[in-house]
Structure 1
Amino acid sequence: MRRLPILVFALLFGKKVSAQDIIPRAVDQPKIGRSLFSREPKRNFSRKGEWFVHWGWNFSWYDTSDINFKGPGYDFTLKDVKAKDRPSKLSWDYVNPMELTTPQFNVRFGYFIKDNYSISLGWDHMKYVMEIPQTVKVDGYINSTISSPDIATGAYAGTYNNTPLQVKEEMLTFEHTDGFNYVSTELERYDDIWVARSQKQMLTLETGVGVGAMIPRTDVRLFGVGENNFWNFAGYGVSLKAGLKFNFTKKFYLQSSAKVGFTDLTKIHTTGRNSIDKASQTIRYVESLTVLGFQF
Structure 2
Amino acid sequence: MFNSALLILFISLSTFAQNDTIIKERYTAHNKGKFTISWGGNRDKYSQSDIRFMGDNYNFVVQNADAHDKPKGWHIDYITPGRATIPQTNFKLGYFFTDKYSLSIGVDHMKYVMTQNQTANITGIIDGNPPFNGGYANTPTVLTEEFIMFEHTDGLNYVYTEIARQDDISKWFGIKNTDKFQVNINGGFGVGVLYPKTNTTLMGKERYDEFHVSGYGTSVRAGINLTIFKYFTIEGALKGGYINMPDIRTTASTSDSASQEFFFGETIIAFGGIFKI
Other-structure match for 2:225: 245
8 Å contact 2:170–2:178 — kept in the other structure?
no
Q: Quick check: 1:76–1:142 contact (8 Å CA) kept in 2?
A: yes
Is there any run of 5+ residues in structure 1 with no aligned partner, and where?
A: 1-13, 31-41, 146-151
Secondary structure of the residue aligned to 1:114 is: coil
Equivalent position of 2:133 in the other structure = 157
* Mapping for residues 264-279 of structure 1, pairs under 5 Å: 264-274=244-254, 276-279=255-258
Q: How does 1:22-61 map to 2 (within 5 A)?
A: 45-61=29-45
**1:219 and 2:199 matched:** yes
1:208 corresponds to which residue?
A: 188
> 1:230 Cα deviation (Å)?
0.3
C-alpha distance in 2, partners of 1:44/1:92? 32
Q: Which amino acid aligns with 1:213?
A: V
The aligned counterpart of 1:119 is: 103
Matches within 5 A, 1:1-296: 45-143=29-127, 145=128, 152-154=129-131, 156-195=132-171, 196-200=175-179, 201-274=181-254, 276-296=255-275
Identity of aligned residues (%): 36
Which AA in structure 1 matches 2:247?
Answer: K
Q: Distance in 1 between matches of 2:227 and 2:204?
A: 51
Matched residue type, 1:139 = T
Residues in 1 aligned to 2:28 and 2:240: alpha-carbon distance in whole angstroms: 34
Taking only aligned residues, the RMSD between alpha carbons, in angstroms, comes to 2.4
Alpha-carbon distance, 1:89 to partner: 4.8
Offset at residue 192 of structure 1 (A): 1.7
SS of residue matched to 1:295? strand
The 2-side partners of 1:205 and 1:231 are apart by 35
Q: Which runs of 5+ in 2 are unaligned?
A: none
Q: Once the 2 structures are TM-superposed, how far is the Cα of residue 43 of structure 1 from its aligned partner? A: 8.8
**Partner residue of 1:35?**
none
Residue deviations 1:79-127, cap 9 Å, x none? Answer: 1000101112543212222322221100100100110110000000010
- TM-score where L is the length of structure 2: 0.86
Larger radius of gyration: 1
- 82-91 vs 132-141, which moves further: 82-91
Shift of 1:164: 1.7
Q: TM-score, normalised by structure 1?
A: 0.81
1:47 positional shift: 0.4
TM superposition shift of 1:228: 4.9
- Aligned-residue offset at 1:141: 1.0
- What is the distance in 2 between the residues matched to 1:295 and 1:107? 14
Distance (Å, rounded) in 1 between the aligned partners of 2:236 and 2:211: 28
Q: Given that residues 28 and 230 in structure 2 are in contact (C-alpha distance below 8 angstroms), is that contact kept between their aligned partners in structure 1? A: no
Structure 2 letter corresponding to 1:182: Y
Q: Any idea what SS the aligned residue of 1:227 has?
A: coil
Q: How many residues align?
A: 258
Equivalent-residue separation in structure 2 for 1:285 and 1:58 (angstroms) = 12
What SS does structure 2 have at the residue aligned with 1:225?
coil
Q: CA deviation at 1:163?
A: 2.1
State the alpha-carbon separation in 2 of the partners of residues 120 and 91 from structure 1: 27
- Which range moves more in the overlay, 162-171 or 204-213? 162-171
Once the two structures are superposed, what CA deviation does each residue of 1:255-282 show, in whole Å capped at 9, x if it has no partner? Answer: 00010011100110111112x1100000
Conserved 8 A contact 1:219-1:226: no
* 2:274 alignment partner AA: Q
